[in-house]
């Protein structure tokens, strides 16, 4: 009888241990949230609007209303299997960038339907990034920067910006704008994009060449630049000079996403072990990858009040409790 009781207690303890370990793993590691998404989908962009999460993928746009637990296609009016590379949201208007004869699509009903939004864009212009400033929307493209002041009904190029610059990232704070390019470094405007100046002092590789920029982010009064092959650079003086911030990052890291959340900086990388985090302004970095595939390419990072979400290449969307990073 005693042996049977001990056996029952042992089984209960085993079950509790398994449940507890699974619970700890699920709350402290990244986990896939891909129900409804195509298998091995490439996720290029994520954007949050209230309780909705939009994912730009190589199979169109998907939306989740339950923290990523399930997804539904949001593609009425979009071509089949179109790739969406950037998403910007202002009110009920959602802009989605694509590649090909149509540069941009617009939904005026929160994604229920889509229509081409190309007036003012040269044919085959690739919109790589979108940023909102007040009621204006700026589009960084393969042919400079374009602006709409009428909710996307027409676009015009910014005459003060080099038309041959391939823009990869745009960020804004008030009237200050920074544009990262893949062929001429970083440009700065202090007057909402009217005039631009190159700001590339020390933004160079070991051979003295200006580095290619993948992404930009504000971190307090500093500007961070994620590069194609040389990790992260920082400027504390509006781009007048730059210095590397790569302690803890793999050598020659391609940084594909930079996002700030509270006191933490998150860097998504390309084939360099996923996500890195710095809690001291980028001076030191640590990998934060439990649960992610090895060498995950992270294209996008967003946050709501509960989770961090990442979109990766060939793997869909992962999420992780935000409290793991904040300690709250």
What is the layout of strands, in order, in the sheet containing 275-278? 255-261, 264-269, 275-278, 286-287
Contact 273, 296 (CB under 8 A): yes
Is the pLDDT reported for residue 121 higher than 80? yes
pLDDT at 22: 39
Picking from 233, 135, 228, the residue whose alpha carbon sits closest to that of residue 178 is 233
Q: What does the DSSP assignment read for 9-37?
A: HHHHHHHHHHHHHHHHHHHHS-EE--TTS
Mean pLDDT within 140-146? 95
pLDDT at 271: 85
Contact 266, 203 (CB under 8 A): no
Picking from 113, 105, 114, 186, the residue whose alpha carbon sits closest to that of residue 139 is 105
**Banded pLDDT at 30 (limits 50, 70, 90):** very high
Is the pLDDT reported for residue 214 higher than 90? yes
Chain mean position to CA 111:
19
Is the pLDDT reported for residue 36 higher than 70? yes
Is the pLDDT reported for residue 79 higher than 70? yes
Separation between Cα atoms, residue 34 and residue 71, nearest integer Å:
7
Separation between Cα atoms, residue 244 and residue 231, nearest integer Å:
8
Per DSSP bridges, beta strands 307-312 and 316-321 are antiparallel
pLDDT at 4: 52
pLDDT at 272: 74
Q: Please give the share of the chain, as a percent, with pLDDT higher than 90.
A: 83
Is the pLDDT reported for residue 3 higher than 70? no
The pLDDT tens digits of the residues spanning 272-299 come to 779 999 999 999 999 999 999 999 999 9
Mean pLDDT within 175-181? 97
Mean pLDDT within 116-131? 92
Is the pLDDT reported for residue 257 higher than 60? yes
Is the pLDDT reported for residue 140 higher than 80? yes
pLDDT at 230: 96
Separation between Cα atoms, residue 316 and residue 325, nearest integer Å:
22
**Banded pLDDT at 184 (limits 50, 70, 90):** very high
What are the CA-CA distances from residue 21 to residues 12, 27, 88, 168 (Å)?
A: 14, 10, 39, 42
Q: Which two tokens stand for residue 314?
A: 């060939």
For the chain, the average pLDDT equals 90
- What CATH number belongs to 33-326? 2.130.10.10
pLDDT at 10: 40
Is the pLDDT reported for residue 179 higher than 70? yes
Is the pLDDT reported for residue 11 higher than 50? no
pLDDT at 226: 98
Map out the domains of the chain as residue ranges.
33-326
pLDDT at 273: 79
Mention every residue, 6+ apart, whose C-beta is less than 8 A from residue 303: 48, 259, 261, 309, 322
Mean pLDDT within 126-136? 94
Is the pLDDT reported for residue 6 higher than 50? no
**Banded pLDDT at 40 (limits 50, 70, 90):** very high
Mean pLDDT within 96-124? 91
Mean pLDDT within 215-228? 96
Separation between Cα atoms, residue 165 and residue 54, nearest integer Å:
29
Separation between Cα atoms, residue 29 and residue 299, nearest integer Å:
19
Is the pLDDT reported for residue 1 higher than 70? no
What is the layout of strands, in order, in the sheet containing 176-181? 167-173, 176-181, 186-189, 197-198
Mean pLDDT within 73-99? 93
Separation between Cα atoms, residue 42 and residue 76, nearest integer Å:
20
Is the pLDDT reported for residue 8 higher than 90? no
pLDDT at 27: 55
pLDDT at 183: 86
pLDDT at 100: 79
């Amino acid at each position: 009888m005693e042996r049977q009781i001990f056996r029952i207690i042992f089984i209960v303890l085993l079950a509790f241990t398994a449940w507890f370990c699974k619970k700890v793993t699920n709350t402290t590691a990244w986990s896939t949230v891909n129900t409804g998404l195509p298998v091995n989908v490439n996720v290029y962009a994520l954007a949050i609007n209230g309780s909705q999460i939009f994912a730009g993928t190589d199979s169109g746009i998907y939306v989740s209303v339950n923290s990523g637990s399930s997804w539904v296609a949001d593609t009425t009016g979009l071509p089949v299997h179109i790739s969406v590379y950037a998403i910007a949201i202002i009110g009920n208007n959602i802009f989605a960038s694509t590649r090909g004869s149509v540069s941009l699509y617009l939904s005026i009903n929160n994604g229920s339907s889509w229509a081409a939004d190309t007036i003012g864009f040269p044919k085959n212009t690739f919109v790589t990034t979108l940023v909102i400033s007040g009621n204006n929307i700026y589009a960084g493209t393969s042919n400079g920067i374009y602006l709409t002041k009428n909710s996307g009904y027409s676009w015009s190029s910014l005459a003060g910006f080099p038309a041959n610059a391939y823009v990869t990232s745009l960020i804004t704070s008030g009237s200050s704008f920074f544009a990262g390019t893949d062929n001429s470094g970083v440009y700065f405007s202090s007057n909402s994009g009217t005039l631009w100046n190159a700001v590339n002092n020390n933004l160079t590789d070991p051979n003295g060449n200006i580095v290619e920029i993948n992404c930009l982010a504000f971190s307090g009064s500093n500007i961070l630049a994620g590069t194609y092959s040389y990790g992260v650079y920082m400027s504390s003086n509006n781009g007048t000079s730059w210095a590397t911030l790569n302690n803890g990052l793999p050598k020659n890291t391609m940084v594909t996403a930079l996002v700030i959340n509270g006191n933490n900086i998150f860097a998504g990388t390309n084939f360099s072990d996923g996500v890195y985090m710095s809690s001291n302004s980028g001076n030191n970095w640590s990998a934060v990858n439990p649960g992610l595939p090895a060498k995950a390419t992270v294209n996008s990072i967003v946050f709501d009040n509960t989770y961090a979400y990442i979109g990766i290449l060939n793997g869909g969307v992962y999420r992780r409790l935000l409290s793991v990073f904040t300690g709250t």
